[in-house]
Every structure is written in C-alpha cells, then in structure tokens.
Amino acid sequence: MSLWKLLRICGSSRSNALSVASLGKAKYDYDLVVLGGGSAGLACGKEAVDSGARVLCFDYVKSTPAGTKWGLGGTCVNVGCIPKKLMHQASLLGEAVHEAVAYGWNVNDQNIKPDWKKLVNSVQSHIKSVNWVTRVDLRDKKVEYVNSMGAFVDPHTIEYSVKGGPKQRVSSEYVVVAVGGRPRYPPILGATEFGITSDDIFSYDKEPGRTLVVGAGYVGLESACFLKGLGYDTTVMVRSIVLRGFDRQMSELLEAMMSERGVKFLHTTIPSLVERQGDGRLLVKYRNTTTKKEDSDTFDTVLWAIGRKGLIEDLNLPAAGVQTKNDKIVVDATEATNVPHIFAVGDIIYGRPELSPVAILSGRLLARRLFAGSKQLMDYADVATTVFTPLEYSCVGMSEEMAIQTHGQDNIEVFHGYYKPTEFFIPQKSVRHCYLKAVAEITGDQKILGLHYIGPVAGEVIQGFAAALKSGLTVKTLLNTVGIHPTTAEEFTRLSITKRSGRDPKPSSCCS
Amino acid sequence: MSLTLWNSRFSVTFVRQYATIFTSGSVATSSLQNKFTNSSILSFHNNDKQRQRTLFTMQNNRQSKAPTTSGATTDTANIGGIGAAPPSASQHSYCNKQTLYDHPQVRQQSSTGSYDYDLVVIGGGSAGLACAKEAVQNGARVACLDYVKPTPIGTKWGIGGTCVNVGCIPKKLMHQASLLGEAVHEAAAYGWNVDDKIKPDWSKLVTSVQNHIKSVNWVTRVDLRDKKVEYINGLGSFVDPHTMVAKLKTNERTITAENFVIAVGGRPRYPDIPGAVEYGITSDDLFSLDHEPGKTLVVGAGYIGLECAGFLKGLGYEPTVMVRSIVLRGFDQQMAELVASSMDERGIPFLRKTVPLSVEKKDDGKLLVKYKNTETGEEGEDTYDTVLWAVGRKGLVEDLNLSNAGVNTVKDKIQVDTKETTNVPNIYAVGDIIYGKPELTPVAVLAGRLLARRLYGGSNQRMDYSDVATTVFTPLEYACVGLSEEDAVKQYGADNVEVFHGYYKPTEFFIPQKSVRYCYLKAVAERSGDQRVYGLHYLGPVAGEVIQGFAAALKSGLTINTLINTVGIHPTTAEEFTRLSITKRSGLDPTPASCCS
C-alpha cells in the first residue's frame, strides 16, 4: 500500500487544476472509490485519475461452486467476451480447415479434433497476460487497487479486509458501484453440485463432451455453437423463446442455422433434476411445459445459461441507503443512484444493455462528469451488438417488432434480402441463412431505425453502420453508398426489396 | 492436370458458343420483326447491310431450330454433363435453370421506331449489364454487345466483364485460399490436431475458381434472358453516332440505336520492353494459369500487383514486387507504406525504384528478367518462373472506331460530364472506360443503373463519385473511404486537419501469435467544431467488411464526436474506430497501452 501511495503522490505532479482543488478536500481518504475492477470500474477509475482524482478500486472474485476463480478485469476479460471470442475463433478455424481442402490445400481434414486442454491453456494464458497488462496499466495510471470485497458501512465509508487480515475502512467523496453480475443457477436438485456455467467452461479441465446447454439467450447459444464447432454433441434447452429481446425473425433464422449445423433444441422445456450416475455422467430430468411430458437424458456436462444476477448481496447497500430493484441498482441519466454521491455503472445497472463497451463508455463519461467538468451523458440508444454463433448475428437499433410497436405497422418499411457470400461457393457452404434487413421509416428519406445481419464477421460489418445510424442514416443514403466488392457488408447497399412488396428476397443474380 | 484445365476451357467456350447460338435465335427473330417495321425508313446506304442481316437472320434461324424446339432439355443436360454449372449454383432455387424458359412480361415502349433499339450497350461487364438491365426494366428495347479478345497467351472468358472473370471475384477467391492456408496454421495453434505442413494444389484451386466463374457467367446469361436484354456476342465499332457494326463469329451485323452506352472497360497494359508480351502474363491470365506460377516477379505496385503478390505468397510461391516509383499511387501514402511493410514482413521482397529492361526465356524454360534501378542506375537480373505485369490498365477504345461517332477521347479513356454523357449527346460512357473516375465494380454498377434510370425512368439522380470506399485485399487488408491524409492537408491546410490514429491488437491474433505490428487505423478529420470526418483508413483483418458501414456513416455526415460516442462491439477490430483518441498532433504514442478495457 505504501508504495502505491508514494506513486500516487509522485503522480500528482502531473495533476491538473481540478486535482489541486480535490486535494483540498482532505475530508475523505479518496475522491473516488470504485467497487469492481471490471470493464466499467476500471474505465471509470482510470479516467478519474487522468482527471486528477485520488482513486481506489476494489476487486474480488468469489469462486464458482465448481471452484473456478480468476483475476482482475471482470467478466469480459476472464469469463466473457474474450474467452468466448477465442473459443468461437477456434471453432471457426476447425471449419476453415475443411474449407482449406476445398480451396486446394493438401491438408488432411479427416477426423480432425481439437485438443481441449491445449485450447483451454492457450485461452487461459491469454487471459493471464491480459490480467497482467491490466495490473500494470492500473499501476502506470496510479489507480490504487485492493484485491478485496468492499462493503458499505455508511454512505461515504467502505470496509474491507485483505486476505483474512484485519478489517480496514476508507472514506470517499464519491462511490461508483461496478460489481457486475454472475450466472444464475436454477433452483433444482443437483444444479450447483453438478452443473457449470460460463464462469467455468473457459477453464474447464476436462473435455465437455456431450453437453446440455440450458438457456437460449446469447450466452447459451454462443456456448452451444462453439462446443458444437469443436466437435461436441450439444443440445440447447429452451424454456420459451430463443434470444429474448432480439428481433424475432432474426432469432428464428439463427436457430434454424444452428439446427442445420446439428445443434439440437429442446423447446418449451425446463429442467427438473440433475443427478450423477454411477459412470460419472449426468442424468438430467426435464419436462416439456407444452406437452407436459417428462423425459430424461444423459450428458457429460450441463451448462446453465439461464440469465445473470447482479452482485449486490455483499455490498451492504442498506448501510448506504442505496435502493435496489431485483438484484440490480436503478440509476438516473447521470448514473446516480438514489444516493446522490453514489453511482452505478456496468452490468449492475437495472434495465440497461449488459455489454462491455457500454460499461466502458458510461464509466469513462461518468468520471469525466465527476472530475473533469463534462456534462456529456451516456447515450444508451442504438447500441450495436453481436451474437457470435457460427454465422454471426449482429444488429443495431430497433428490432422489427419494436419499430412496429413504436411507429405503427403502416409507418415502417422493411428492406430485406438473402445473399451469397462469394467465399461460400467453393466450399459449398450453406447460404440458406445469410440474410439481412433494414427497418426504416416509410416516409421521406426513410430514416433507418434498425439494421440486422446474419452472416460472417457480423460484428465487423455492423460497427460502421452503428456509427452511420448515429449520424442519421437514411435508406436513401444507404442505397447511394457505393459498395465494396466483393464483401458481404456491401449487401446493405444493395437492399431493394421491401417486405411489403411481397417480392422474393432471394438474389436473382450473383454479381452485378 | 492440364487435361482438367483444357476441359474447363473447352467447356467455357462451348457454353459461350452455345449460348450465342441460342440467343442469336431470339435476337434474330426480333430483328426480323424490326426489319419489316423499319424497312421503309432504312436508307439506301444501309440496304447492303440490311441484306447481310437478313442472311444472318436466316442462318441463325436455321441454327437455332434445334435449341428452340428440343433445346431446353438438351441444354440443361449438356451443361450438367460437362460440369460448367457446378452444383453449388444450381442447388439454389433461384439459380434454377427453369428460369431460362420462363418469359415474364416486360413493359415495352417503342419510343423510337426509327432505330433497331432504344439503347445499345457496348460491353457486358458490371457497368454495361447494370445499365442494360435497368433500361429494360424501364421499358427500353436494349441490346448488349460483349466480346472478349484473347490475351497474348490465349486466355479468354465469358460474359460479365473484368470483375467476374479476371478481377474482383477470382482475386477474392485466391485471397481467401491464401487466408485459409494461414487459417490451417492458426487452427493448429488453437489446438486442432492438423498437420500444418501443407501445400496448395494450384490446379485444383484454379479449377474451383474457374468453375465458380462459369456458374456466374451462366447465371448472368440467364438473368439477361429473364430481363429481356438482347445479348450479342460481338465486337462493336461505330459507323456514325447512331449506327454500329458488330463483328460476330462469322459475319457482321449493323445495329442502329437512339442511344449508346460505352462500357467496354479496360485491360492490363504490357510494358514496352523485349519479351514482355511473349513471356509475361497479366491478371487476365493468372486466375486460369494452367501451371503453378512458382517464383514470380510482379511488376507494378498498384493494388492489383500487391494483391497478386499477397495471395501468391500465401499460396507458398515466391513473389517479388518491382516498384517503379511508389506503392499504391493515389492511396494514402502512410497506409501504403504500412501495407508494403506488412508484406515485406511476410517475406515478399520489394525491388524499389526499379524498372524492367527485358525478359528472355532460358533453355530450362525459366525467365531471365533484366532490370535497372532508376536511382543508382545499377542494373541487375534474376530468373523467375512467372513474370506478371501489373503496370496499369488501358481503356479499350481502339476497336470502337470512336472517330466515326465523333466521340473525343483522353488518352485511352473517354471523358464524360456529370451525367456520364460524352461530347456526343446520345453517346454515354460508364465504368472503367471513363476518364478520371474510380475503376471499381460497384461504382460501375451504380453509375450504369442511375444512367439507365435517367434515360428511361424519368430520374434526375446523378452518380456521386465522392467518398467511395475501397479495399486492397493484401494478406492484411487495407480499406479506406474518403480523403487520404495528403489530400485532406492539400484541400484544407495542415492546420485545419486533425488526424486520430492508433495501433491495435486483434484479439484472435494472440493465440497464434500473429504479428500485430501493422494493425493500424486512422481518422482524418476537420480540426474544429464537431470535427467532420474526411477520411477513414484501416489496415487489418476483413477490412472491406469493416469500412463499408463507415462509408455509409461518412455519407451521413459522420463527425469525430459521433464516432467516439458510438458504442463499440467487443471484441471486434472495427470497434477500434470508436476508441480512437490520440491525435498525431499530440505526439503521443499511438501503440495501445492496454489490450481490453
């Protein structure tokens, strides 16, 4: 600690006028305490220090029931976007080996299998290096870091202890709660004993084998897909619908794409029990809520992906007077809780997109407002997102349903089309689910309300269009944007068929 | 191997001849009708040709008897039998050959009874086809001429123009093949038990690429037929501003039209040195080359040269790039040099400031290339298996006899106004043949389509040639839209331009330990206010996919303020644009401090 304090003092030589002002406020130990060292907390902490604030960041990871732990950086880096993108990439590369054969490479693609251990080691090594860089970065940026769970004593005081040591307290003018969330377990027998979650899968020390993924949100679908791509037999159990909250048509297309690739779906089904058999495998009993039929099957791994809960329980929020909703915290447009000097950012916020870049930007903007005199609020509208299934799905703006709900069926026009990626022909990959649509106003230049794309590298494709949407993209502008040939992104510039016309959205020609 | 290739070449010729015969039948039939309605107006001068045409019509009617009576099934069977339309294309319902024989009603308006056609399009490439199809959809009577002269080594191809046959499509496929070789090595790093000591089978690759092209040729023909565009496989030259003679396989045909659209495109140049034409090849030949290219000298460092060198290297051959002056002329030079460096890092040598002097064939069949460094005057030589000229492209004006129509040219191109009109009011030009406009397929397609809408659809909309995005498909791809840094500085002054830039590390690169040294992007913007973005530049994976959306954003008035308030998609490389924070002016280090938050 003392080294860090020393560094902090040295660091204050580069402080600006604001920090000089804040140094005057000796009333508190810190200008800002951040609870949670994930995307939101770190971004907020670093930005606050850059603006001259004295910042302390707490981070502590409780082990999962299966015993998995990880380092600094939060969900995204350790058990979220980073490992899942790497596993997704591994799965795509398996596919690429087969494609390479079609393109003439003399690679033996018969019976190729992934080495799960090697993959997990590679992924974990990368994560460890990120943990390390994150630590170094905090050190460079003079953010103090304590590996402990902080809890409120009163609205300005946090109590903690390091590695079972004595309880200590710090006070701070502002507190930012950025503790994020963790996967839920269903309240059934055997769930925590025998099931794992996305918190465990990326460091799982044995091959997952035949896997039941319970839940069809994006975490469930992504996990099912990379497992299938890595050669494991995968079943997805869906309670009601796939990808709740996403565009229905796109969600169903995505499900059809997964089925085509051999992922099995158990619809309107809920699990009732997991037990370990004599051979070590897991017997899962479940019930179809439509047919009321009970059934069971045996799996090597059961992965719960039924949702995530906010980590408020250890924070002792009542001591600070912070109100919660379910397991989340309600904030206003400035990310302030009901207690004016206590804020929340990231996945812990009630009713906002749980996405790393959202967390980062809102954390950073909050710090600028607190310490750099900025007035800029986080704009949570039109946030693009991507589901990393083998054909990826990305979207920005409204779903078709949402557009109809907010604007009325008669006031929206949907342009859509199937397309054929050039690279798919030689390996004869299925183009059946390569589809995209633009949801727009029907009048005038036809302002675009939402864009949806299923196909390769969907995240890369939609990002620029997200910037375009924020710049007021219209259908008129879109159709007069010259395409880049041959790409799949250019298909957006070639959209010409409206759903209303009833015309066939399949492409008649391929290249001009 | 050579047999397969010979077969595939044979099949394409066969299909094309067959298609020509087949449609000439219908062309002939309609021109026969025209003949009677128009004969009274035809001048005496035209009578000779008219007679010729009647003769031709009769010939073709005879020839086309078989296909039109029993042709439907024979045709399908033949095509299937020789494998010209691979199953990948015909599996899709929308590629069903039945569409060939459906005859949807198209609104026909005979506005110009005095000409054979309302519009004759010369050139069946991206521009010409788009223009012709759109014109027909707006009620015009349209014919489209297309003819491909073989290259010096005899390479020929079908309808569709450069992009489909010897341009974007085959190069993207070869690029993809090259990336997939890389992917096999990456797969091993990610834990797949593949033996990654791999080699490509050039002949298999070429066959796959050519089969795809043939299926596209086929679909293009079907589409023209569906859309009622008459296709004439002939080389057109002007007689006067409304008359053209088309050289067909065995005879000639005179065609009159109210309007002409010149969309003949371009072809690669050869340098004026001994041995260039005899021993060198161009991008016109490479994608169907019947032997492995081996050690290759790529002369020219425009995007074609770099792309070819890039995929050849990726496929395991040893390309060297000879650069006369600069790399990627016309592109942002900082990015161009980064592209060159990224290629150099992958083992592609660059011979800078060097021009070739001669090419000789040695006894062992290898090519001895002598060259000279233009700075030092030093001469050198090396032997190669293949010499590929990528020294630029020329417009195909020479066979058009433009002087008969009075159309002015600039060098080998045609100058047009903002409505794509040449100096002769009823003659237009679109696509690569236009002087001073980007030579890109989507530009050609859109310009051709908009021209047709203005001519026949009552539209006033003109083609906007500004802010056209483009991508160079080198191993690490480069994409850009808008102004280069140099152009922005030239146009607005260095003091009024702010450049945001940064290096970045794609998440997927870590495990296979791919070099991130050249993963770089920048935004060139206005310095004041909300900082309107003038240009975006990106070097990294899937660059074309990344930049397309930003091109739409630029057209929508993207500013730096909007850009950095656009929430990123994590983890992607495109999100790096939303994270740009370091200006060149600040002098701060643009290498990333952290990796992920």
The token pair that represents A77 in the structure block? 């880096």
Residue where one domain finishes, among candidates B391, B419, B448: B391
Of A104, A361, A459, Cβ closest to residue B177: A104
Quote the number of domains for chain B: 3
pLDDT score of B592: 80
In degrees and rounded to multiples of 5, residue B528 shows phi and psi of -105, 170
pLDDT along chain A (512 residues), means of 10: 43 41 69 98 97 97 97 97 98 97 96 96 96 93 95 97 94 98 98 98 97 98 98 98 97 98 98 98 98 98 98 96 97 98 98 96 97 96 97 98 98 97 96 97 97 98 98 97 97 96 82 47
pLDDT score of B58: 40
Task: Classify burial at A381, counting beta carbons within 10 Å of its beta carbon; exposed 0-12, middle 13-18, buried 19 or more.
Answer: exposed
On chain B, the residues whose CB falls within 8 A of the CB of A510 are 89, 216, 219
Of A43, A103, A123, Cβ closest to residue B180: A103
pLDDT score of B101: 35
The residue to which tokens 């150099």 are assigned: B344
* Cβ-defined contact of A485 to B558 (cutoff 8 Å): no
Of A137, A474, A484, Cβ closest to residue B548: A484
Q: In a mutagenesis test of the A interface, which of B566, B575, B582, B589 is the best target, namely the one with the most A β-carbons within 10 Å? A: B566
Class of the domain covering A385-498: alpha beta
The distance of A79 to chain B (nearest Cα, Å) reads 13
Binding-site residue set of A for FAD: 85, 150, 347
Q: Are residues B220 and B345 in the same domain?
A: no
The alpha helices in A261-411, defined as continuous H runs, are 317-320, 356-371, 400-407
Residue where one domain finishes, among candidates B424, B456, B488: B456
Q: Are residues B406 and B380 in the same domain?
A: no
- For residue B258, being part of any structural domain is answered with yes
Q: Are residues B112 and B207 in the same domain?
A: yes
Domain boundaries, chain A: 191-306, 385-498
Q: Could you say which DSSP state residue A491 is in?
A: G
For residue B510, what is the nearest residue in chain A, using CA coordinates? A126
Q: Cβ atoms within 10 A of the Cβ of B363, count?
A: 5
pLDDT score of B120: 98
**Which residues pair with residue A91 across a beta bridge?**
none
Q: Are residues B252 and B300 in the same domain?
A: no
pLDDT score of B46: 42
Q: Are residues B485 and B444 in the same domain?
A: no
| Contact yes or no for B278/B445 (Cβ under 8 A) | no
Q: How many CA atoms lie within 13 A of A359 on its CB side?
A: 32
pLDDT score of B196: 87
Tell me which H or E stretch contains B321. Answer: strand B319-322
pLDDT along chain B (597 residues), means of 10: 39 37 38 39 41 41 38 34 37 36 39 84 97 97 97 97 97 98 97 94 97 94 93 96 96 97 98 98 98 98 98 97 97 98 98 98 98 97 98 97 97 97 98 96 96 97 95 98 98 98 96 96 97 98 98 98 96 97 96 63
Q: Are residues B539 and B482 in the same domain?
A: yes
Q: Are residues B296 and B220 in the same domain?
A: no
Among residues 150-169 of chain B, which lie with CB inside 8 Å of chain A?
Answer: 160, 163-164, 168-169
**Which residues pair with residue A286 across a beta bridge?**
A271, A295
3-class secondary structure, B389: strand
Q: Are residues B187 and B237 in the same domain?
A: yes
Non-local CB neighbours of A212 within 8 Å, separated by 6+ positions = A235, A237, A282, A284, A297, A299, A301, A302, A303
- For residue B176, being part of any structural domain is answered with yes
Q: Are residues B255 and B359 in the same domain?
A: no
The token pair that represents A222 in the structure block? 């992504």
On chain B, the residues whose CB falls within 8 A of the CB of A93 are 183, 186-187, 190, 192
The answer, for B239 touching chain A at a CB cutoff of 8 Å, is: no
The distance of A495 to chain B (nearest Cα, Å) reads 13
* Cβ-defined contact of B464 to A480 (cutoff 8 Å): yes
pLDDT score of A159: 97
pLDDT score of A507: 80
Active site residues per annotation of A = 485
Q: Are residues B332 and B196 in the same domain?
A: no
pLDDT score of A511: 52
* Cβ-defined contact of A81 to B470 (cutoff 8 Å): no
The distance of A284 to chain B (nearest Cα, Å) reads 30
- For residue B60, being part of any structural domain is answered with no
- For residue B24, being part of any structural domain is answered with no
ipTM greater than cut 0.85 = yes
Cis ω before B475 (30° cut-off from 0): no
- For residue B522, being part of any structural domain is answered with yes
The CATH code of the domain that includes B354 is: 3.50.50.60
By 3-state DSSP, what share of chain B in percent is helix, strand and coil, each rounded to 5?
40, 20, 35
The distance of B500 to chain A (nearest Cα, Å) reads 16
pLDDT score of A341: 97
pTM score: 0.88
* B551 known member of a binding site: no
pLDDT score of A5: 44
- For residue B86, being part of any structural domain is answered with no
Look at residues A292, A115, A293, A272 and name the one whose alpha carbon lies nearest to residue A195.
A272
| Contact yes or no for A464/B548 (Cβ under 8 A) | yes
Instruction: Determine the longest span between alpha carbons in chain B, in angstroms.
Output: 82
The answer, for B213 touching chain A at a CB cutoff of 8 Å, is: no
The CATH code of the domain that includes B487 is: 3.30.390.30
* Rounded Cα gap, residues B519 and B342, in angstroms: 9
Cis ω before A486 (30° cut-off from 0): yes
pLDDT score of B143: 97
Residue spans of beta strands (DSSP E) within B463-560: 470-472, 477-482, 497-503, 520-526, 533-540
- For residue B545, being part of any structural domain is answered with yes
Non-local CB neighbours of A10 within 8 Å, separated by 6+ positions = none
Marked catalytic residue, from B92, B103, B537, B570: B570
3-class secondary structure, B496: helix
| CATH architecture of the domain with range A191-306 | 3-Layer(bba) Sandwich (3.50)
* Cβ-defined contact of B556 to A477 (cutoff 8 Å): yes
CA dihedral B503, B508, B513, B516 (to 10 degrees): -10
The distance of A94 to chain B (nearest Cα, Å) reads 6
* Rounded Cα gap, residues A157 and B350, in angstroms: 64
For residue A94, what is the nearest residue in chain B, using CA coordinates? B187
* Rounded Cα gap, residues A126 and B593, in angstroms: 16
Q: How many CA atoms lie within 13 A of B96 on its CB side?
A: 7
The token pair that represents B27 in the structure block? 């062309």
The answer, for B196 touching chain A at a CB cutoff of 8 Å, is: yes
pLDDT in tens, B480-524: 999 999 999 999 999 999 999 999 999 999 999 999 999 999 999
The answer, for B186 touching chain A at a CB cutoff of 8 Å, is: yes
Non-local CB neighbours of A410 within 8 Å, separated by 6+ positions = A442
Q: Are residues B496 and B411 in the same domain?
A: no
- For residue B335, being part of any structural domain is answered with yes
pLDDT score of B595: 57
Asked whether the CA dihedral B449, B453, B456, B457 is positive or negative, the reply is positive
Of A394, A423, A482, Cβ closest to residue B176: A423
Domain of residue B386 covers 276-391
* Rounded Cα gap, residues A71 and A180, in angstroms: 15
Q: Are residues B128 and B240 in the same domain?
A: yes
Task: Classify burial at B46, counting beta carbons within 10 Å of its beta carbon; exposed 0-12, middle 13-18, buried 19 or more.
Answer: middle
* Cβ-defined contact of A73 to B596 (cutoff 8 Å): yes
